Structure 1
Amino acid sequence: MKGPHTGPGNHSARVRRCNERLLLHTLRRIGHVSKADLARLVNLTSTAVDSHIASLAGAGLIEFTGRHVEDRHGQPASRIRLASRGSFGIGVRLDCTRIETVLVDFAGQLLGRRIRDGVLPYPSDVAGVVQDDMHDLLQVLTEEERTRLAGVGVAQPHNPGSSRHERRLPSETSLSYDETDFAEELRRTLSLPVCNENDGTAAAIAELFYGCGRQRDDFLYLFLGAAIGGGIAVGGDCLRGASGHVGDFGVMPVSPGRLASASRPMGQWDVLLSRASLDSLTRHLRASGEPVESRAGLKNCIAQHQPAVDEWLDDCIDALAPALRAMVCLLDVPVIVVDADVDAGLIEKVIRRLRVALAADAPQARGTPRLLRGTFGAHAGAIGAATLPMFFNFSPRADMRTGQTESLDSFF
């Protein structure tokens, strides 16, 4: 006897959903496109594409723009694009010193943002804070648009209590997040679906869905925040691993740092976040006499070209370059995307120094990956959280048929 989900009707629905997601994925990459081009790119018949377009237009996910003539003998044809207000996502990023809640539209545009700075309260107190901020953000949407919310995404570090020694965090609060499923807490208080990811993977998903992933399926994503994290995009999807820790670069083993401000590891090896994170930069600036107490203060020190920043950069790249080289050897990705919680020139400095260090250490049998700047900067984690419900609802992910994306190259 067949199970309840194996009948032909269910299979047909899955195929239809996959094809519609593929159409949305193609439109996200191409922008405006005619129906004929869209059918050719996704290798579907014109009749099938007509049916899918009608369904997507009825759901408000696509819209029709002006008409154009494809060639001197052709007939005028309307063009299709994603409807930016076809769907919306709410993202909540939790860090040990900040609660950030954002609203984004289907095109990835930031429509609103609420930030609460300060030591993160206990999980039981955060849900009410987030609800208040969500209520404020939703005021920019009409009543009808609120029915198009894809859901809420939560991005937070995995097991913050496990890195409390390296990050010098309050043990009681950080350990409380190890023992609490905040997404489940939020799910119980909302009438919306809630999904969660670690903050590095969420930021990588935003880059895949809205950033450089619109042109490429494979890259390594690196985010310099209070700690250091990221994600790995392969084949148009982000890897997760058995426990969701793929891209947890911060715990990669490295030799102890040489700076006088370096924390002393508990064993022979240190971890990457002790040498290549904004916490380690802040620690070194304070040891050098700079009273850094906030992101704004850190940004000012970078903008003022404080000598301590360059000292930290030397030590950071010394640890980061071989770690990235090892990752590239294992993953064979052609691109590394670098982003950070603060900028003031820091991202370009990191990319420039990494480019030199990776080229100097490249073995003869391997080239040097291309280094790109990330799309979202300080917003990456929160926009990544908001992208989660969009990604899981609308991306073809692993269902994308092999060979589809190669034909898109001619449009860039």
Structure 2
Amino acid sequence: MRARNERLVLSLVRRHQALAKSEIARMTGLSAQTVSVIMRQLEQDGLLLRGEPIRGKVGQPSVPMRLNPEGALFLGLKIGRRSTELVLTDFLGNVRQRERRTYDYPTPVATLDFAREALDKMLSDLPPVERGRVSGLGIAMPYFLWDWAQTLRVPQEKMDPWRTTDIKAALAATYDFPVFLQNDATAACGAELVFGPAEGPRDFLYFYVGYFIGGGVVLNRSIFSGRGNAGALGPLPVPTETGQVQPLIDVASLYVLERSIAGSGDAANLMWDSANRWDVPDLHLNNWLKQASLGLAYAIASSCSVIDFNCVKIDGWMPPDIKIRLIEGIEAQLSRINLTGLERPEIHAGSVGPDARSLGAASLPLSERYLVEA
């Protein structure tokens, strides 16, 4: 019970950025004495910092407490179809170190070699006191990677080793901290939940537009993962402009844009070097935005007929201006769909951005050790 109450206090402080003991006692129903004991211990553990006292008209001044960024460190490994990345984050989700590698397709041997090399480098760069604050490693990766060989245009035998590779177990056997694993799009959704706006919606549908599009479902401020892969929105059937029906993954994923560019003889691999700015031909970008907006609009309408989401968040590996254009296109397409019997949801940009999968990976040990539904 004590451990849960400590996590509850940390969760509330994270959400509200700073809280005094009296406010926490009111929110939790715990006694003022219990809250005082908990917060004193959390301060001694280096997880909370005191703010400046706020004096009222009567009584003792209240002292707001906030999270100590240096209180704990977390590692996040993102394994994608075109790149892998390792980040070291602090307690607030700020990236302290980053290592990244791009490739044509992922293999288990190369992925493990990169992970161990990057982990060893990051850990060796930390002073001993900070090394002791590393609370775990989260891994965000697509499930069933071997099933995507044909779409990736890779010989099946190159991807088959993933069937028998347990990345989590291999790294857990090497390092002395806990290791967690989650689907990459679900992890991105988790980053929005942990590091997004404090007063965000309790329920929302989430899309992450990467090499393949995926998503997540948040209900009552918790990710709903079902048996492990709920919210995997890529296979959702959607109509196209030609009247055909295709999986959303073959309409709104970035691989569709990449192949369109490559098909005209232009270099498409530059899309993966940086998500801050793309040098993408307008014709290909506009065509992709048009079909992706249409597919996403129908995917949203279908999802809202199952759960009446009042908010949908769109994020991905793309520059902010392109994300805005994509959302504007979705809004326009939704206005053309018959939503009779449904409440039209608000469409918002995700707040984390391209780092959502890596930060989502790092949020796995953070959530497991320090957070609780609040």
For this structure pair, what is the TM-score category when the shorter chain's length is used for normalisation? over 0.9
Counterpart contact for 1:84–1:105, Cα < 8 Å: yes
The normalised TM-score by structure 1 is 0.84
Structure 2 residue 246 is the aligned partner of structure 1 residue 270? yes
Select which of 74, 83, 90 maps to 2:75. 90
Select which of 8, 11, 17 maps to 2:3. 17
Report how many aligned residue pairs link the two structures.
374
Q: Which residue of 2 aligns with 1:66?
A: 52
Q: Which residue of 2 aligns with 1:186?
A: 171
- Per-residue deviation, 1:310: 1.0
Structure 2 residue 316 is the aligned partner of structure 1 residue 340? yes
Name the CA distance, whole Å, in 2 between partners of 1:150 and 1:360. Answer: 48
Amino acid at match of 1:277: S
SS at match of 2:64: strand
Counterpart contact for 1:303–1:344, Cα < 8 Å: no
Q: Which residue of 1 aligns with 2:345?
A: 369
Q: Which residue of 2 aligns with 1:36?
A: 22
SS at match of 2:234: helix
Amino acid at match of 1:161: W
Moved more, 325-334 or 161-170: 161-170
Structure 2 residue 139 is the aligned partner of structure 1 residue 154? yes
- Per-residue deviation, 1:269: 4.8
Structure 2 residue 230 is the aligned partner of structure 1 residue 246? yes
Select which of 79, 89, 103 maps to 1:118. 103
Q: 1:131 to 1:173 in 2, by over 3 A?
A: same
Q: Which residue of 2 aligns with 1:378?
A: 354
Q: 1:188 to 1:284 in 2, by over 3 A?
A: same
Structure 2 residue 108 is the aligned partner of structure 1 residue 132? no
Name the CA distance, whole Å, in 2 between partners of 1:88 and 1:170. Answer: 39
Structure 1 residues 158-191: Cα deviation after superposition (integer angstroms, max 9, x where no partner): 1122123233234223222233111111111212
Map 1:159-170 to 2 at 5 A.
Answer: 159-170=144-155
Q: Which residue of 2 aligns with 1:237?
A: 222
Counterpart contact for 1:22–1:396, Cα < 8 Å: yes
Moved more, 102-111 or 337-346: 337-346
- Per-residue deviation, 1:144: 1.3
Select which of 82, 94, 109 maps to 2:94. 109
Q: Which residue of 2 aligns with 1:356?
A: 332
Amino acid at match of 2:271: R
Structure 2 residue 36 is the aligned partner of structure 1 residue 50? yes
Name the CA distance, whole Å, in 1 between partners of 2:274 and 2:91. Answer: 33
- Per-residue deviation, 1:139: 4.9
Q: Which residue of 2 aligns with 1:283?
A: 259
Name the CA distance, whole Å, in 1 between partners of 2:198 and 2:331. Answer: 21
Name the CA distance, whole Å, in 1 between partners of 2:101 and 2:181. Answer: 20
Name the CA distance, whole Å, in 1 between partners of 2:273 and 2:180. Answer: 33
Name the CA distance, whole Å, in 2 between partners of 1:322 and 1:315. Answer: 11
Counterpart contact for 1:257–1:275, Cα < 8 Å: no
Identical pairs, percent: 28
Amino acid at match of 2:315: D
CA RMSD of aligned residues (A): 2.3
Structure 1 residues 348-403: Cα deviation after superposition (integer angstroms, max 9, x where no partner): 01111112222332524332212221222221111111111001112213xx4xxx
Q: 1:121 to 1:270 in 2, by over 3 A?
A: closer
Q: 1:21 to 1:292 in 2, by over 3 A?
A: same
The normalised TM-score by structure 2 is 0.92
Name the CA distance, whole Å, in 2 between partners of 1:305 and 1:120. Answer: 24
Q: 1:205 to 1:297 in 2, by over 3 A?
A: closer
Moved more, 350-359 or 152-161: 350-359
Map 1:176-325 to 2 at 5 A.
Answer: 176-212=161-197, 215-242=200-227, 244-255=228-239, 258=242, 269-295=245-271, 306-325=282-301
Select which of 125, 129, 141 maps to 1:144. 129
Amino acid at match of 2:136: G
- Per-residue deviation, 1:340: 1.1
- Per-residue deviation, 1:297: 7.7
Name the CA distance, whole Å, in 1 between partners of 2:287 and 2:276. Answer: 16
Q: Unpaired runs of 5+ in structure 1?
A: 1-14, 260-267, 401-412
Name the CA distance, whole Å, in 2 between partners of 1:321 and 1:282. Answer: 22
Counterpart contact for 1:90–1:101, Cα < 8 Å: yes
Moved more, 189-198 or 282-291: 282-291
SS at match of 1:68: coil
Name the CA distance, whole Å, in 2 between partners of 1:123 and 1:349. Answer: 36
- Per-residue deviation, 1:83: 1.1
- Per-residue deviation, 1:25: 1.2
- Per-residue deviation, 1:307: 1.7
Structure 1 residues 199-245: Cα deviation after superposition (integer angstroms, max 9, x where no partner): 00111111111113653321111100000012111112111121x11
